[in-house]
Amino acid sequence: MTVLENVSLKEFNTFGVDAKASLFASVKNQLELQEVLKDPRFKNPFLIGGGSNLLFVNSISRPVIHINIGGIKIIDENDDSVIVSAGAGIKWHDLVLWALKNNYGGIENLALIPGNTGTAPIQNIGAYGVELKDVFYNLIAVSIDDCSTHIFDENDCEFGYRDSKFKNEWSHQYVITSVRLMLQKNNHFINTQYGAIEKTLIKKNISNPSIQDVADAVIEIRNNKLPNPKELGNSGSFLKNPIVSKEKTDKLLLEHPNLPHYEFTGNFYKISAGWLIEKSGLKGLREGNVGMHAQQALVLVNYGNATGKELWKFAQKVQQTVAQKFGITLDPEVNIIE
Ligand code: EPU
């Protein structure tokens, strides 16, 4: 493990923002991680995985630890299912491809989600009717404070919509080093409830889809709607779909009968932030180097060499415009590092 000074983080965040880290170390295994956590220079570290869910507004004064722990292995199996352990540094989509190659079902709907496996539980990644928690078995984490190792199961993690205990009570307390998932070897549960998948399969004349067919459909949908971060800096959905009371939803529906809304829990509805942004006239709007994507209004885009400040300022303008028009505050889905 080498410690570097004054490192550009441009390659380490999918927005492609050229923020600088004054101190930087990349770790390949748990031992290296524990070694760097004990180094007094790395007190109060900033952890970076795939860099796909953060916006550096400024340069980073905290020491940065890049989690680059690899390895995918089977740790247990029976006739029906398999428990797979993946290092936190494995690209999430590589894990999906590995599962498909072995015909293990459960994460095909989560194809092409940017980011690493280790960060997937933090925000309980989800797409097309499936969330990480649906296949989650447990994870291994190291305490930042005393380097102790812990195993946390689904109950411990308190998963919610783009949420977990790692974003709340456990924020900045642990480094996830590996994640274990329970996947199905046969009798795959094919989840095509999400309209866009069904439409894509019908278009391809597939009536009895395999997990590979579902993954191919998801990949096609995502490629059509979401910009590739290698071509246009972005971090997927920048804002969360707001959870709004039934009372407020009913009021909005009177004025906007087409408002896409989905039952959440109790008396609450999830409303499409993309729709709110689009109806506020911001879809596809570009100002200089930044804008909201033309195919999916939830995606904030770096068209060139935008700074973190420019991106954040534009996103705040979007928040304000939507708040003025609909009286709803859109919270960022992405971590804002100020
Ligand atoms: N919509 C619009 N205009 C837009 C975008 C969306 O009107 O520009 C409306 C449409 O009615 C559409 C509905 O919103 O039918 C839902 O849109 P979409 O299927 O694109 O889903 P989303 O709610 O915008 C969420 C996730 C995505 C995930 C998709 C598919 C969040 C914040 N985003 O987006 O996740 O891929 O569902 O499951 O929950 C990500 O987290 O980075 C991400 C891309």
pLDDT one digit per residue (tens) for the chain, 338 residues: 789 999 999 999 999 999 999 999 999 999 999 999 999 999 999 999 999 999 999 999 999 999 999 999 999 999 999 999 999 999 999 999 999 999 999 999 999 999 999 999 999 999 999 999 999 999 999 999 999 999 999 999 999 999 999 999 999 999 999 999 999 999 999 999 888 999 999 999 999 999 999 999 999 999 999 999 999 999 999 999 999 999 999 999 999 999 999 999 889 999 999 999 999 999 999 999 999 999 999 999 999 999 999 999 999 999 999 999 999 999 999 999 99
Q: Which residue among 67, 82, 100 closes a domain? A: 67
Contact 311, 17 (CB under 8 A): yes
CA–CA separation, 307 and 311 (whole Å): 6
pTM of the shown model:
0.92
pLDDT in the model for residue 310: 98
CA–CA separation, 31 and 99 (whole Å): 27
Q: Is residue 81 part of a domain?
A: yes
Does residue 168 sit in the same domain as residue 247? Answer: no
The protein residue with its alpha carbon nearest to ligand 1, atom 6, reads 274
Residues of the domain holding 31: 3-67
Does residue 245 sit in the same domain as residue 328? Answer: yes
pLDDT in the model for residue 1: 79
Ligand 1 centroid vs 272 CA: distance in angstroms?
7
Ligand 1 centroid vs 7 CA: distance in angstroms?
34
pLDDT in the model for residue 183: 98
Does residue 332 sit in the same domain as residue 272? Answer: yes
Please tell me if the CB atom of residue 274 comes closer than 6 angstroms to any atom of ligand 1: yes
CA–CA separation, 131 and 108 (whole Å): 11
Contact 259, 271 (CB under 8 A): yes
The protein residue with its alpha carbon nearest to ligand 1, atom 43, reads 237
Q: Is residue 60 part of a domain?
A: yes
Q: Report the CATH number at residue 30.
A: 3.30.43.10
Q: Which residue among 67, 102, 119 closes a domain? A: 67
Q: Report the CATH number at residue 135.
A: 3.30.465.10
Q: Report the CATH number at residue 283.
A: 3.90.78.10
Ligand 1 centroid vs 309 CA: distance in angstroms?
25
Q: Is residue 290 part of a domain?
A: yes
Q: Is residue 195 part of a domain?
A: no
Please tell me if the CB atom of residue 154 comes closer than 6 angstroms to any atom of ligand 1: no
Coil, helix or strand at residue 103: coil
Please tell me if the CB atom of residue 272 comes closer than 6 angstroms to any atom of ligand 1: yes
Ligand 1 centroid vs 135 CA: distance in angstroms?
22
The catalytic residues are: 162, 237, 333
Does residue 284 sit in the same domain as residue 323? Answer: yes
Q: Is residue 136 part of a domain?
A: yes
Domain total in the chain? 3
